[in-house]
């Protein structure tokens, strides 16, 4: 199915959006040349019991938040459904990774369908995230581990095929909650201003809550999430502060890969800051052509964006990303730069989960950036240290 969006001005094609990323590639080459060295009850308990101690609340935050609040937030995260469709936070955010991978969805599905009560016994499988949003067919969720995200259209944006329609659905991966307390930008499109806001909208939307959470409950959930770190040194970092030291390399491959993330390195251009997700000029969003390629063949939609001078710009894309929040056609197909900490445990990658492995990620980048096959292997070796 194709949907058409209208943005005021001329149609945006691949060549129009290549400029910033290609400029990044050119800048990267210059830097490299000139820079100095650089719920099933059993399954629910299984999910909770699998959480390593380092992910269950970092005691170094005790001077900020009482441990009782974090403990209560953990209980809500694990168990509270707010009288909705049976989902708690952990239904979609596996506590060991903070996200959901296809292999986990598939294993849970097999356990559920083999049970006397069938697939509905696991709260992950609810019609709101089925293939069409109403049935009990979950091919997309099982294959890609993506959920259906409902977004209102900003005033500047309309659908060319249905101008009266004021919302759309896009397929996106589930962001990890681990290290989320350090995030300046939340969600792939930056739409949530805080962890409390994110928790509220997830509870009302994906969990279809019939009972409104209190502000205190939202704060407790958020404080629990702020206590989740993938490594101890991140617990001492602060948002927008200096990044923790990169881990030391112990092999030639790791050493070569590390140089790409040091000052003057190609990867450091977009992966700096505490979470290694900020550009050198303090931007948090970039278009790296994931929507343009549309590897998973998500439904393409056509938008019209209205500019300040009343001209219209037409855009064809499966997911415009940040542009659906700002209403600015210049933001089309831009998404939050992801953190690299714990990246080895948070596959699949990109906003649509279209890269199943780190090898897939580097294969994508090699289409646009000056990276050799050896560079890719070296970068992956270093990423596995983070």
List, in order, residues 6 or more apart from 103 with CB less than 8 Å away. Answer: none
Domains and CATH numbers, the chain: 5-383 (1.10.760.10)
Pick from 316, 284, 315: which is nearest to 2 by CA? 316
In the predicted model, what is the mean pLDDT of residues 192-210? 97
Of the candidates 351, 343, 5, the one whose C-alpha atom is nearest the C-alpha of residue 149 is: 351
Output the pLDDT for position 30: 40
> What mean pLDDT value characterizes the chain?
86
Do 341 and 45 touch, CB atoms closer than 8 A? no
Peptide bond into 348 cis (omega under 30): yes
Alpha helix ranges (H) inside 153-282 = 195-204, 215-226, 252-259
The per-residue pLDDT for 63 is: 53
Does residue 241 register a pLDDT over 90?
Answer: no
CA distances from 49 to 106, 191, 345, 346 (A): 20, 32, 18, 19
Give the closest residue to 145 by CA, choosing from 193, 194, 114, 99: 99
pTM, to two decimals: 0.84
Provide the CB-side half-sphere exposure for 18 (13 A, CA): 9
% of the chain at pLDDT higher than 70: 82
Binned at pLDDT 50, 70 and 90, residue 273 comes out as: confident
Ranges of beta strands (E only) in the chain are 5-8, 146-152, 157-159, 167-173, 285-286, 301-306, 312-317, 335-336
Structure tokens that stand for 136 in this block: 């009990």
Average pLDDT over residues 345-364: 98
Q: Is the pLDDT of residue 128 over 60?
A: yes
pLDDT band at 32 (very low <50, low <70, confident <90, very high): very low
Say yes or no to pLDDT of 373 above 90: yes
| pLDDT of the residue at 34 | 30
Q: What is the pLDDT of residue 22?
A: 47
The average pLDDT across 320-339 equals 97
- Is residue 288 within 8 Å of 368, Cβ to Cβ? yes
- Tell me the Ramachandran region of residue 383: left when phi exceeds 0, alpha when psi lies from -120 to 50, beta otherwise: alpha
Q: 55-59, 144-148, 232-236: which has the highest mean pLDDT?
A: 144-148
Region 57-69 average pLDDT: 62
């Amino acid at each position: 199915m194709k949907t058409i969006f209208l943005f005021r001005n001329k149609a945006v094609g691949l060549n129009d959006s290549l400029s910033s990323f290609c400029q990044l590639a050119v800048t990267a080459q210059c830097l490299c040349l000139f820079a100095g060295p650089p719920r099933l009850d059993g399954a629910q308990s299984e999910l909770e019991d699998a959480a390593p101690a380092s992910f269950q609340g970092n005691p170094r935050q005790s001077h900020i938040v009482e441990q009782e609040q974090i403990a209560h937030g953990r209980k809500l995260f694990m168990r509270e459904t707010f009288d909705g469709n049976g989902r708690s936070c952990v239904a979609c955010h596996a506590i060991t990774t903070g996200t959901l991978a296809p292999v986990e969805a598939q294993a849970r599905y097999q356990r559920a369908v083999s049970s006397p009560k069938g697939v509905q016994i696991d709260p992950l499988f609810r019609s709101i995230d089925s293939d069409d949003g109403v049935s009990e067919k979950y091919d997309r969720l099982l294959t890609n581990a993506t959920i259906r995200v409902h977004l209102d259209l900003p005033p500047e944006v309309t659908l060319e095929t249905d101008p009266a329609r004021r919302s759309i659905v896009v397929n996106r991966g589930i962001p990890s909650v681990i290290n989320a307390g350090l995030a300046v930008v939340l969600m792939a499109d930056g739409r949530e201003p805080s962890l409390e806001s994110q928790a509220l909208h997830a509870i009302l939307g994906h969990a279809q809550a019939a009972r409104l959470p209190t502000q205190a409950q939202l704060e407790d959930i958020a404080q629990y999430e702020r206590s989740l770190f993938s490594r101890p040194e991140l617990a001492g970092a602060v948002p927008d502060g200096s990044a923790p030291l990169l881990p030391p390399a112990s092999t030639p491959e790791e050493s070569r890969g590390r140089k790409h993330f040091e000052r003057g390195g190609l990867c450091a251009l977009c992966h700096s800051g505490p979470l290694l997700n900020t550009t050198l000029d303090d931007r948090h969003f970039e278009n790296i052509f994931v929507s343009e390629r549309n590897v998973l063949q998500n439904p393409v939609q056509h938008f019209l964006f209205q500019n300040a001078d009343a001209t219209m710009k037409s855009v064809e894309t499966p997911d415009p990303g940040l542009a659906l929040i700002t209403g600015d056609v210049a933001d089309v197909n831009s998404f939050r730069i992801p953190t690299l900490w714990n990246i080895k445990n948070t596959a699949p990658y990109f906003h649509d989960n279209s890269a199943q492995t780190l090898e897939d990620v580097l294969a994508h980048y090699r289409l646009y950036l000056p990276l050799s096959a050896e560079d890719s292997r070296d970068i992956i070796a270093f990423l596995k240290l983070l």
